[in-house]
Amino acid sequence: MNNLQSGLILSLTGLTAVASLAACASQKKEEKKPYNIVYIMTDDHTAQMMSCYDKRYMETPNLDRIADEGVRFTNSFVANSLSGPSRACMITGKHSCANKFYDNSTCVFDSSQQTFPKLLQKAGYQTALVGKWHLESLPTGFDYWEIVPGQGDYYNPDFITQDNDTIRKHGYLTNIITDDAIDWMENKRDKEKPFCILIHHKAIHRNWLSDTCNLRLYEDKTFPLPDNFFDDYEGRPAAAAQEMSIVKDMDMIYDLKMLRPDKDSRLRSLYESYIGRMDKEQRAAWDRFYGPIIEEFYRSNMQGRELADWKFQRYMRDYMKTVKSLDDNVGRVLDYLRDNDMLDNTLVVYTSDQGFYMGEHGWFDKRFMYEESMRTPLIMRLPEGLDRRGDIDAMVQNIDYAPTFLELAGVEVPSDIQGLSLLPLLKGEQTDTLRKSLYYHFYEYPAEHMVKRHYGVRTDRYKLIHFYNDIDHWELYDLQADPTEMRNLYGLKEYASVTDSLKTELLRLQEQYGDPVRFSPDRDKE
Ligand code: SGN
Ligand code: CA
C-alpha cells in the first residue's frame, strides 16, 4: 500500500455510522492490491516487425498476446529518436531540452534529477532495472539493478552490478536479461510491496546477432523491397546527406556477417570482437550456418540491384531472428505473471526506444523525424480496473509514460513533468484526443550516420521539420496524401497558410517545453 492509500484509509476512521459504512466499502476497495508495472523496452524494434502492427513480415505471437488482451497505440511516437535521449525522456517524462540528455555521444545523465522510478520508490514501490541503460551515469532510484555496459553484447555479455562490479554471464543476452528479471520478481523483491520493473533489452540493436538456436529461421523467406528503397531524396537535402543506406553504408562483414580471411571492411575488427566472445560451441554453430552462405556470396559476385536486394534480404532475416528470441522471452515474462496470478493487478507495457527503417528510403537506423523512426510501438496488457481494449488512436509520446505510471500508482504527478497521463485513455474515460500536436528534436550531429540536427511539429495531418546547424532547410509533408514522406511541400504557395499555422504551433511548443533552440519567426517569414 502506498502513502496516499494508507493516508486515505486513516482519514476514514472516526466518521458517522453512515459514513463508516461508506468507509467500509471504500476500505474494501482500498484492500485491492496496488498495481504492479512491468515495463519491457527493446532497442530499435520497429512496428513493421510485429505482427500485431504489421502482417507483412513476421509473426510475433507473444507480443500479439499483449495487444490482444489489452490495447495497441496506433499513433505512438518518441521525442528524439535515439537510445540514450529516448530513455531519458521516458524516465523523466520530459523532452531532451528539459532533461538535458541530448545525444548518445556527448551526454551524461544527471542522475540526481527527478525520475518516475524515484517517485514510485518514495511512495513504497519496489523498483528494479535490468538490461540496457545507456545513460552513462549509474542508475538511481532502483532497489535492484543490473545493467550492461554501453550497448552491451549479445553473446556471453558483461553486466555491471549494483556493487559496481563487472561480471560476465554465459549465454545469449535476451535470455539472460529475462532470467534476471524473473529471478528478481520471484526471489529478490519484498513481496509485501507493489513493484515496478524495467526490463530493457539490447535486442534488436545493430548488428542483429541472433541466438544460435534461431540461425536457420526465415531463410526460405524473401521480401519485396519497399517502394521507396531507391529514393532519390529530391527536395530533401538532409535525407540525401545521411550515411545509413543499406546499399552504401551497410557493412558486408559487420552487418551482414560475410567474414572471410582474405576480405576486409571498415568494421571487420569490431565484428571479430563480437563473435570473438562466443564459446567453442556457439562459434561452431555460427560458422556452420554462415559458412555456406559466405562461400556462395563471394562466388556469385553480385553487383548493382541484385546485390542491393541480397543485402536487404539478409538484413531482414537477421533482424527477424533477433526479434524471435525477444518474442519468446516476452512470452516467458507473461507466463510467469499468469502462473503466479499477477496479471490482474499488473500493467504490462511493451515498447521500443524508437522505430527503425526496414529499407524504407533505402535505410537502416533511425534518427530522422520521418514516420518510421519517430514512431515507436506501444502495446499494453491492462490490469483489472482499466477497461479499455483494442486500438487507441490518440497521438502519444514517450514522455507520457512517466505520468501514466505515477497516476496508476496513486502518486501525484509533479507539475514540471511535460508528458500527459494516458490513464484516462486506458480507463476508457477519455476519447482519443490527448493533444493536437507533438514536438520532436534530434541533436546528434555531426556523428555516426550523419543525420543533421532538426526539430519539428507533427499534427494528425501534417509534419513540419526544420533542419538546422550546418543547413537551413524546411520540409512539410501531408501525411494523409503522402504517408511515406516523399514530397516536400514546403514553399508551395497553396501550402502557405498551413505552413504559417504549423510554424506558430511549433513556436508555441518550443516555448511550452522551454527549448532554447528555437527558430526565429521574423527571419523565417517569407
Ligand atoms: C551504434 C551503432 C549505430 C547506431 C548507434 C545508436 N553503430 O553506434 O548504427 O545508430 O549505436 O543506436 S555500431 O557500429 O556500434 O553498431 S542507439 O539505439 O543506441 O541509439
Ligand atoms: Ca535504439
Segment 1-46, tens digit of pLDDT: 444 444 433 333 333 333 444 444 445 445 677 999 999 999 999 9
pLDDT of residue 39: 99
pLDDT of residue 502: 98
Distances (CA, A) of 396 to 82, 341, 413, 456, 509: 17, 30, 17, 16, 15
pLDDT of residue 17: 38
- Give distance in angstroms: CA of 206 to centre of ligand 1: 6
pLDDT tens for 239-250 read 999 999 999 999
- Report which of 90, 190, 70 is spatially closest to residue 135, judged by C-alpha positions: 90
The residue ranking higher by pLDDT, 29 or 358, is 358
The backbone torsions φ and ψ at residue 300, rounded to the nearest 5 degrees and listed phi first, read: -75, -25
Helix axes 61-68, 304-339, angle to 10 degrees: 60
pLDDT of residue 16: 36
Which residues contact residue 247 at a Cβ distance below 8 angstroms, ignoring those fewer than 6 apart? 307, 308, 311, 362
> What is the average per-residue pLDDT within 425-433?
88
Residues 319, 205: contact at Cβ < 8 Å? Answer: no
The residue ranking higher by pLDDT, 419 or 23, is 419
Residues 439, 502: contact at Cβ < 8 Å? Answer: no
The beta strands (E) that lie in 43-138 are given as 71-73, 76-77, 126-132
Counting ligand 1 atoms within 8 A of each CB, the residue from 254, 448, 450 with the most, and so the one to mutate, is: 448
Q: pLDDT class for 518, splitting at 50, 70, 90?
A: confident
> What is the average per-residue pLDDT within 131-155?
98
pLDDT of residue 520: 80
Lining ligand 1 with CB less than 6 A are: 43-44, 82-83, 104, 151, 205-207, 353, 365, 448-449
pLDDT of residue 4: 41
In the Cβ-directed half-sphere of 461, how many Cα atoms lie within 13 Å? 5
Nearest atom of ligand 1 to the alpha carbon of 255: 16
Q: Is the pLDDT of residue 166 over 70?
A: yes
Counting ligand 1 atoms within 8 A of each CB, the residue from 42, 132, 151, 353 with the most, and so the one to mutate, is: 151
Q: Is the pLDDT of residue 526 over 60?
A: no
Residues 94, 397: contact at Cβ < 8 Å? Answer: no
- Lowest-pLDDT range, 6-10, 25-29, 57-61, 231-235? 6-10
Which residues contact residue 18 at a Cβ distance below 8 angstroms, ignoring those fewer than 6 apart? none
Q: How far apart are CA 412 and CA 150, in angstroms?
A: 33
**Residue 417 burial by Cβ neighbours in a 10 Å radius (0-12, 13-18, 19+):** buried
Q: Is the pLDDT of residue 458 over 60?
A: yes
pLDDT of residue 12: 34
- Give distance in angstroms: CA of 443 to centre of ligand 2: 15
- Give distance in angstroms: CA of 134 to centre of ligand 2: 10
pLDDT of residue 174: 98
And the C-alpha cell for 486?
516523399
Residues 381, 66: contact at Cβ < 8 Å? Answer: yes
Q: pLDDT class for 97, splitting at 50, 70, 90?
A: very high
Long-range contacts of 165-172 (CB under 8 A, 24+ apart): 170/279, 172/211, 172/212, 172/325
- Lowest-pLDDT range, 234-248, 463-477, 512-526? 512-526
Q: How far apart are CA 324 and CA 61, in angstroms?
A: 10
The backbone torsions φ and ψ at residue 39, rounded to the nearest 5 degrees and listed phi first, read: -110, 110
pLDDT of residue 11: 38
Nearest atom of ligand 1 to the alpha carbon of 84: 20
* Cis peptide bond upstream of 471, omega within 30: no
- 78 φψ region: left (φ > 0), alpha (ψ -120 to 50), beta (else): beta
pLDDT of residue 8: 38
Distances (CA, A) of 267 to 313, 328, 451: 20, 30, 20
Instruction: Render 243-272 in DSSP notation, one character per residue.
Output: S-BTTTTS-TTTTT----TT---TTHHHHH
pLDDT of residue 524: 56
- Report which of 181, 186, 178, 184 is spatially closest to residue 211, judged by C-alpha positions: 178
Q: What is the per-residue burial (b if ≥16 Cβ within 10 Å, else e) of 504-520?
A: ebbbebbeebebeeebe
And the C-alpha cell for 519?
527558430
Amino acid identity for residue 363 in this structure: W
Residues 423, 410: contact at Cβ < 8 Å? Answer: no
pLDDT tens for 17-26 read 334 444 444 4
pLDDT of residue 432: 80
Q: Percent of the chain at pLDDT above 90?
A: 91
- Lowest-pLDDT range, 169-183, 351-365, 506-520? 506-520
pLDDT of residue 7: 40
- Lowest-pLDDT range, 16-20, 199-203, 215-219, 478-482? 16-20
> What is the average per-residue pLDDT within 319-325?
98
